[in-house]
Amino acid sequence: MRLELIKRPQHSVLFSAISPLIALVLTMIAGAIMFSVLGKNPLDALYYYFIDPLRETWSLHELAIKAAPLILIAVGLSVCFLSNNWNIGAEGQFIAGAIAGSILPVVFPDFQNWLVLPLMLIMGMAGGAAYAAVPAFLKARFNTNEILTSLMLVYVAELFLDWIVRGPWRDPGGMNFPETRDFHSFAILPELMPAAGRANWGIVFAIIAALVLWFVLGKTRKGFEIRVLGQSPRAGRFAGFSASRMVMVAFLISGALAGLAGISEVAGAIGQLQPSISPGYGFTAIIVAFLGRLNPLGIVAAGFVLALSYLGGEAAQISLGLSDKAARAFQGMLLFFVLGCDTLIHYRIRLVGRAPQVREAAEHV
């Protein structure tokens, strides 16, 4: 007896659309089992996980703050992953964008007018794109493995940030803390509804980026080019598309969006450069991209779900004393079920028994 995966000739559009919801329900069931095995009331745990963070307006704002960089980075990564470019270095591009965007408020603190913020955002995107161009160029020119080069550049960026905030960019009036000076008011990304919570324009950028890329990927020739080069490079070449140019395009787009996420985070939620500015957004966004099945609109939903699971994990840790390891396992289950549902949309399972024996079979020795 064994299981076989058989490709479906056509997958159901309906189930493609609702598969994340099915996965969410399955995760809750499995999570409830896990929580009760851990000796907690599963209903309580699920409540703290999924409901508690949504109960109050300020925490909805926190959710948006966490979701914004995840979505921005993940929609950029979807372009890379769809075109078969494995950019694992979004975390580094996020940091590079944050540093490049911070040049104005940190190095030229006296330049203060309404131009500062737009320039910062543009420089942030340019910084992220330039940093992503390094592995892209190496891949297009020398055929290096972009997974390795982009990942290694993450550590370079992290250490560079660490050095610059302790060294040249340290706040002269900051009591030797390893931080830059606080950004002046022209350099701060405005909050959307200051009376209600901290959420800033970052989430708006994220949703605009998702909408634009959803349009480009789904409706335009460029999107077709990205997908065909990713799925079938030789057919893409037959179509007249250039794979090496696509490497550059994909990395530049995802680098620019990661850079925008970086500068938005620094100019928004943080307000200065610190040795560490990201709790691993660049890596978590890889999960978000796949949870959203590389569809920008799906990524918006996935970004909120992952942001929620982070907030919920914190809440459950505080209220129930659940270990943060349990929270991680919970996230893992979520990923598992989403990918599982996704697979079952494209394949069906068949149970294969031993085929009926040929009558009077005599095994030959």
Partner 1 sequence: MTEMGAGVDQLHEGEGGGLLDVRGLTKIFGALKACDAIDLSIGKGEIHALLGENGAGKSTLVKMLFGALEPAAGEIHWKGQPVAIHSPGAARHLGIGMVFQHFSLFEALTAAENIMLSLDEKTPILQVAERARELSKAYGLPLDPFAHVGDLSVGERQRIEIIRCLLQKPDLIILDEPTSVLTPQEADKLFETLETLRDEGKSILYISHRLEEVKRLCDRATVLRHGKVVAHCDPRQETAASLARMMVGDEVATVKRTGSVDAGGQALLEVRELSRPSANPFAVPLRKIDLLVRSGEVMGIAGVAGNGQGELFEALSGEALQQNAATIRIRDKDAGRLGISGRRLLGAAFVPEERLGHGAAPQMRLSENLFLSRHVTDAKALMGAFGTVRTGALAKAAARIVKVMDVRKSGEDPEASALSGGNLQKFIIGRELDRQPAVMVVNQPTWGVDAGAAARIRQALIDLARSGSAVLVISQDLDELFEMCDSVAVMHDGRLSAPMPIAEATFEKIGLLMGGATPERSELPEEAETA
The residue ranges that bind partner 1 (CB under 8 A) are 7, 9-10, 219-222, 224, 227-228, 231-232, 234-240, 355-364
Exposure b/e, 47-64, CB count within 10 A at least 16 = b: bbbbebbeeeeebbbbbb
Q: How far is the CB of 72 from partner 1 (least distance, A)?
A: 22
Q: Write the CB contacts of 103 (distance below 8 Å, at least 6 apart in sequence).
A: 123
Q: Please, what is the minimum distance in Å from the beta carbon of residue 335 to partner 1? A: 23
Neighbour count for residue 163 (Cβ, 10 Å): 13
Closer Cβ to partner 1, 10 or 176, answer by number: 10
Rounded least distance, CB 293 to partner 1, Å: 14
What is the smallest separation between the CB atom of 354 and partner 1, expressed in angstroms? Answer: 8
- What is the distance between the alpha carbons of residues 132 and 209, in angstroms, rounded to a whole number? 18
Question: 259 is written with which tokens?
Answer: 């850079």
CB 334, CB 352: distance < 8 Å: no
Q: Give the residue with the Cβ less far from partner 1, 110 or 360.
A: 360
Query: Residue 57 or 231: which CB sits closer to partner 1?
Result: 231
- Report, in Å, the least distance between residue 362 CB and partner 1: 6
Residue 102 CB-density burial (10 A; 0-12 exposed, 13-18 middle, 19+ buried): buried
Nearest approach, Cβ of residue 297 and partner 1 (Å):
17
| Bridge partners of residue 4, in order along the sequence | 350
Distance spanning both ends of the chain, measured CA to CA: 24
Residue 244 or 319: which CB sits closer to partner 1? 244
Nearest to 186 by CA among 97, 111, 272, 95: 111
Determine phi and psi for 285, rounding to 5 degrees: -65, -25
Closest distance between partner 1 and the C-beta of residue 361, in Å?
3
In the bound complex, what is the minimum distance in angstroms from residue 220's beta carbon to partner 1?
4
State which residue, 195 or 358, has the beta carbon closest to partner 1. 358
Closer Cβ to partner 1, 55 or 364, answer by number: 364
8 A C-beta contact, residue 247 and residue 254: no
- Which of residues 29 and 235 has its CB atom nearest to partner 1 in the complex? 235
- Nearest Cα neighbor of 87 from 347, 282, 229, 279 is 282
The residue (of 220 and 276) whose beta carbon lies closer to partner 1 is 220
Beta-carbon count within 10 A of 193 CB = 11
Residue 234 or 325 having the CB closest to partner 1: 234
Q: At what angle do helices 281-291 and 90-101 cross, to 10 degrees?
A: 130
Strands 347-352, 2-7: pairing kind? antiparallel
241 vs 310, beta carbon nearer partner 1: 241
Shortest distance (Å) from residue 357 CB to partner 1: 6
- Among 152, 180, 192, 226, smallest CA distance to 68 is for 192
- For helices 116-142 and 90-101, angle between their N-to-C axes, nearest 10 degrees: 140
Taking the complex as a whole, how short is the minimal distance between the CB of residue 83 and partner 1, in angstroms? 13
327-332-336 Cα angle (round to 5): 150
